[in-house]
Structure 1
Amino acid sequence: SQLEPEAEWKARLKREQDEQVIRETQRQRMASLQARATALDSPLKVDVSEIQKNASESRTDTRQPLNAATNSASDLYAAAMKSGLLGQNVDQNGQTSKEDFFNQDIKDLGYLPNQVVPQLSPYELKRGSVIPATMITGLNSDLPGRISAQVSQNVYDSATGYRLLIPQGAKLFGRYDSKVSFGQERVLVVWTDLIFPNGSTLQIGGMSGTDAEGYGGFKDKVDRHLWRTFGSAALVAIIGTGIDMSMPESSTLARQDTASDAARRNFAESFGRVAEQTISKTLNVQPTIRIRPGYKFNILVDQDIVFPQPYRN
């Protein structure tokens, strides 16, 4: 085959380049329209002038290869989508902060800063262990107070599980919190002293009590005082109705109130204010949580406990 003349070959190459420039211009116009539509749909104002400026600068260079032109159009559309979506709260559930909390201890790769610490004694009760117990006294959250309980099962060392450290029947002494908010069903309990049957005592600081399933706090009986609350509301309504009925009826005729009308009005208003203020206080009463004697629970050991020797009576 004969080679094409050089002039025809250059003309055909020029036509191909012109067609490529036309296609690229059309893609950029479409991307600009999509970017403007995305910005208009955004709940916040999005400035696309910078995107259009970059697009106009890219049109000045008409000798870019075809793949570079395609990437420019796709990058323009991606930037527009990013500008539109960043104006919205796409992380409504705060998943990013949750991931940061979960991974805050493993951001730096490498060795653990802590090393394995051997046990100090063969008679140790490690943190994470539980001490089963049963309530001796009851608990009422209306007032703070002290409570006592009794260990219901033998507790052995954490390493072997054969050395008796806390015998069944040991006494526990603790306290509970009476600050109960509206809707609360559990009361916070901490245990401070462990008294062995042989008379020795161990102060355990303030280890928390959990129910038999491991949930924090104790839950047994909850009194929300519904009768008192709704009864007070009904009494307020009745008093308000009585006050309205006792007030003198207004008349369209111009007349002055008599002395009895004025006295009756002042008495009704004063009595109504005092009654409503007194009864409204009962509407804010906190619920009462009661833990009955015999309630079974566990003490969660949160510090390693070292005993001098196995328990001997």
Structure 2
Amino acid sequence: MTSCIVTQDVYSADGRTLLVERGSEATGEQRTALMQGQARIFVLWSRIDMPNGVTIPLDSPGSDSLGASGLEAYVDNHFWDRFGGAIMVSLIGDFGQAASNRSLGSGNNQIQFSNTSSAGQSLADDTLKNTVDIPPTAYSNQGSALNIFVARDVDFRSVYDLEHQQ
């Protein structure tokens, strides 16, 4: 769930009737999981709760200040969380292998570390399997301006008792 506060009064198309008061709270939810390479948060705004107790159903998407679908976001791909452990285990295994190769030197003394290196590889595989599926996280700046693209007509007849004037 997410919410935002309406920062200015919203009037009817002719500018004579106040429809949404400043200070009203819009409530919505993120609709899709963030995909790799995506830098937008897609929000479906479900309703606006006005200070006078009126609730306006919306079911309308959010957009940025230019009208593009979704809200601009900073994306944390968790690179080091996802791959750091596997890289570290692999490097430790490589250093162990390099040390054993260097200690061989010249002579017939041979030391085999095949069990240790295969265990290290298995540990790296397990670490990678456990962390590679961490999904990216998107952050939008608090207080940033956004728009709600009202996708359908909203009927205010039950709220406002208006009369048609000639």
TM-score category of the 2 structures, normalised to the smaller one: 0.7 to 0.9
1:112-127 pair list within 5 angstroms: none
Q: Report the secondary structure of 2:135's partner residue.
A: coil
1:202 aligns with 2:56: yes
For 2:152 and 2:38, how far apart are their aligned partners in 1? 28
Question: Given the alignment of the two structures, is residue 187 of structure 1 paired with residue 41 of structure 2, yes or no?
Answer: yes
Q: Indicate the residue corresponding to 2:8 in structure 1.
A: 153
CA distance in 1, matches of 2:125, 2:119: 10
Aligned length: 157
Pair 1:298 & 2:147 matched:
yes
**Cα distance between partner residues in 1 of 2:73 and 2:34:** 14
RMSD, aligned CA: 3.2
Mapped to 1, the partners of 2:126 and 2:99 lie a distance apart of 19
What is the CA distance between 1:234 and its match in structure 2? 4.2
Report what 1:268 is aligned to: 117
The DSSP-based 3-state class of the residue aligned with 1:306 is: coil
- What does 1:57-68 correspond to in 2, within 5 Å? none
Letter in 2 for 1:200: V
- 1:294 deviates by 0.7
Q: TM-score scaled by structure 1?
A: 0.43
| AA of the residue aligned to 1:270 | A
Structure (1 or 2) with the larger CA radius of gyration: 1
In structure 1, how many angstroms separate the alpha carbons of the residues matched to 2:48 and 2:67?
20
Secondary structure (helix, strand or coil) at the match of 1:276 reads: helix
Question: What one-letter code is carried by the residue in structure 1 that aligns with 2:30?
Answer: Y
Ranked by relative contact order (alpha carbons within 8 Å, sequence separation 6 or more), the top structure is 2
| Counterpart contact for 1:247–1:268, Cα < 8 Å | no
Task: Using the aligned pairs only, state the percent identity.
Answer: 29
Give the TM-score of the pair, scaled to structure 2.
0.76
More helix, by proportion: 1
CA distance in 2 between counterparts of 1:281 and 1:243 reads: 24
2:77 maps to 224
3-state DSSP of counterpart to 1:272 = helix
Q: Cα deviation per residue 1:212-243 (whole Å; 9 max; x = unaligned)?
A: 11111111322233444674564254134135
